Amino acid sequence: MSAPAHAERAHALLGASGASRWIACPPSARLTEHISEKRSEYADEGTAAHELSEVKLQQMLMPNNSARRKELEKALTEAMASTYYGPEMENAVNDYVDIVAERFLAAKARSQDAVIMFEQRLDFSEWVPEGYGTGDVIIISDGIMDVIDLKYGKGVPVSAFGNPQMRLYALGAWQEYDFLYGIEEIHMTIIQPRLDSVSTDIVPVSELLEWAETVVKPAAALAFAGEGEFKAGEHCRWCKVKGNCRARADENMKALEYEFRDPALLSLEEIGSVLFVAEQLKAWAKDVEGYAFDQAKNGAKIPAWKLVEGRSNRVITDKDVAWKSLEDAKIDDDKFLKPRELLGIGELEKRIDKKELAALIGDLIVKPPGKPVLVPETDHRAELNSVDQDFAGEEFES
Ligand code: SF4
C-alpha cells in the first residue's frame, strides 16, 4: 500500500479531519491534544472499508504486472478476512469503486494523460503548521483535479460543499502537483455509499487559495499557539471535551436564559426559536451525561449522583436445553418458538449480494413517501404543502 496502513496513521495536531472544529474554535486543538481518542467500532469498520477499497481500486484501475497482481490478491484476502467484512461492506465498497472508476474514465476522456493516485499523504503545512492528511483518491487531468473521499459511516450525512477537510486535502494536493500539471479547478467529492450519497463541490484554485490565506492561515496560527477564542457550535459534536467544556456549557446556559413575555401562550415565532434551543440542549445534555458516566465508571464521585446497577431482564442460560425440554413435554411449537419472519431490507442487504437481491425481489421493494418531519428551513428537502398532506402520526426529526 502506498501510505501508512490506515489504522496506523498518526494524527496531526491540526489535522484535516478536525478542521471544521479548530477553524471555528482555535484553542480546542491544544486543549484536547493530550486526550486520547476513544476507539470506536465505527472507526475500525471505516478503516476496514478503506483497506478493502484501496485494494479494489488498485486492481481495477492500475496496470499491474503479475507480481503486483499476486500481492493485491493477498491483500484482498486479508481485507476480506476482517471481522467487519460482509455483503454490506462488499456492496458499499463496490459502489464507491465504480464511482471512482467513472470519474477516472471522465478524466481520461478529457485527456489520455490523466493520472490517478491513491492514499496520498498531502502536506498543507504552508497554511497550517505541521498540517498534513491522507487523501483517498486524487485524479488529475487537463487542469482539473478531483479529490475524492470515502465516508463509510452512515450515521451522519457529510457534504462536500464548503467542507474544510476536503479543502485542506485539495490544498495539499494542489501544492504537490500544480507545478507538474498546472491545476486550475478542483472538484472535491465525498462518497457515502451506505447513504447513497455523492456530493461534489467545484471551486477554482483562486478561491481555494483565498480561503486558505484569509480563513485557514489565521485560525491555524492561533490554534497552533493555543490562542484565540473558544466558540461553541455544531463543530463541538466532534470535540473530545464536548461533555465538560465550559465555553459550550456557558453558551448553552445562555440559551436557557430566553425571556418569555406576555401573553401567556408562546407565539409561533417563539416556538421556532425554542425548537432550535431544544435541539442544541438535547445534544449537549447527551454529551454531558456521557462524560459524567465515563467519569463515574472510572471511580470519580460526582456530587449528588451515584452509579447503581441498572435494570436487567431474565435470560435463558441454555436455549438448546430449554427448547428440548419444552419439545419433550409436547408443548406446541407456536407456544415457545417465534414465527418465521422475513428480515428487513437493511438486514437482507447485509447478508445477500445487492445485485442478487435486486434480481430476486427488486420489483417487490418500494419506497413509500416518508412521514412528515419538522426541520429547520435550511434543510435541502422541498417543503410539503401542509394543507394538502395527511399529517397523521406527525413527529419531530431528532
Ligand atoms: S467543546 Fe466546542 S467550544 Fe469547547 S473546546 Fe470543543 S469545540 Fe471549542
The CATH number of whichever domain residue 189 belongs to comes to: 3.90.320
For residues 186 and 277, state if they share a domain.
no
For residues 48 and 129, state if they share a domain.
yes
H or E segment to which residue 333 belongs = helix 333-336
DSSP designation for 126:
T
For residues 153 and 30, state if they share a domain.
yes
Among 115, 149, 145, smallest CA distance to 135 is for 149
Number of domains the chain is built from: 2
Over range 50-73, report the average pLDDT: 93
Instruction: Detail the DSSP E strand segments found in the chain.
Output: 115-123, 132-141, 144-150, 185-192, 197-204, 373-374, 395-396
Residue 107 confidence class, pLDDT cut points 50, 70, 90? very high
| 239 within ligand 1 shell (Cβ under 6 A) | yes
Among 87, 109, 139, smallest CA distance to 149 is for 139
Query: Which residue out of 248, 252, 253, 286 has the highest number of ligand 1 atoms within 8 Å of its CB and is therefore the one to mutate?
Result: 248
For residues 205 and 274, state if they share a domain.
no
| Ligand 1, atom 5, residue with closest C-alpha | 28
Boundaries of domain holding 163: 6-225
Residue 316 confidence class, pLDDT cut points 50, 70, 90? very high
Over range 107-112, report the average pLDDT: 93
Tell me the pTM: 0.82
Q: What is residue 4's predicted lDDT score, i.e. its pLDDT?
A: 47
**How remote is the CA of residue 236 from the centroid of ligand 1, in Å?**
5
Look at residue 8 and tell me whether its pLDDT is greater than 70. Answer: no
| Pairwise pLDDT comparison (379 vs 250), residue with the higher score | 250
Q: How far apart are CA 222 and CA 231, in angstroms?
A: 13
| 31 within ligand 1 shell (Cβ under 6 A) | yes
Q: How far apart are CA 200 and CA 186, in angstroms?
A: 10
| Distant-in-sequence, close-in-space partners of 187: CB < 8 Å, separation ≥ 6 | 144, 145, 146, 147, 200, 201, 202
- Asked whether residue 119 is domain-assigned, the answer is yes
Look at residue 397 and tell me whether its pLDDT is greater than 80. Answer: no
For residues 126 and 253, state if they share a domain.
no
Over range 142-154, report the average pLDDT: 95
97-106, 115-124, 152-161, 379-388: lowest mean pLDDT where?
Answer: 379-388
Handedness of CA 53, 131, 116, 58 (dihedral sign): negative
Inter-CA distances, 23 with 44, 151, 201, 204, 221, Å: 26, 21, 19, 21, 10
Among 174, 102, 120, smallest CA distance to 143 is for 174
Radius of gyration, alpha carbons of the chain: 26
For residues 167 and 20, state if they share a domain.
yes
For residues 173 and 255, state if they share a domain.
no
Over range 289-308, report the average pLDDT: 93
| 19 within ligand 1 shell (Cβ under 6 A) | no
**How remote is the CA of residue 270 from the centroid of ligand 1, in Å?**
27
For residues 135 and 186, state if they share a domain.
yes
Cβ atoms of 79 and 38 within 8 Å: the answer is: no
For residues 178 and 134, state if they share a domain.
yes
- Asked whether residue 289 is domain-assigned, the answer is yes
For residues 87 and 206, state if they share a domain.
yes
| 25 within ligand 1 shell (Cβ under 6 A) | yes
For residues 216 and 113, state if they share a domain.
yes
Over range 250-263, report the average pLDDT: 78
CB atoms within 10 A of CB 111: 14
| 283 within ligand 1 shell (Cβ under 6 A) | no
**How remote is the CA of residue 21 from the centroid of ligand 1, in Å?**
8
Look at residue 331 and tell me whether its pLDDT is greater than 90. Answer: yes
Q: What is residue 398's predicted lDDT score, i.e. its pLDDT?
A: 45
Query: Which residue out of 20, 21, 238, 252 has the highest number of ligand 1 atoms within 8 Å of its CB and is therefore the one to mutate?
Result: 21
Q: What is residue 6's predicted lDDT score, i.e. its pLDDT?
A: 55
Query: Given 341, 370, 389, which residue is the final one in a domain?
Result: 341
**Can you tell me which atom of ligand 1 is nearest the CA of 239?**
6
Over range 288-299, report the average pLDDT: 94
For residues 261 and 137, state if they share a domain.
no
| 240 within ligand 1 shell (Cβ under 6 A) | no
Q: What is residue 258's predicted lDDT score, i.e. its pLDDT?
A: 66
- Asked whether residue 166 is domain-assigned, the answer is yes
| Ligand 1, atom 4, residue with closest C-alpha | 245
**Can you tell me which atom of ligand 1 is nearest the CA of 31?**
5
Inter-CA distances, 268 with 43, 73, 254, 271, 281, Å: 41, 62, 21, 5, 20
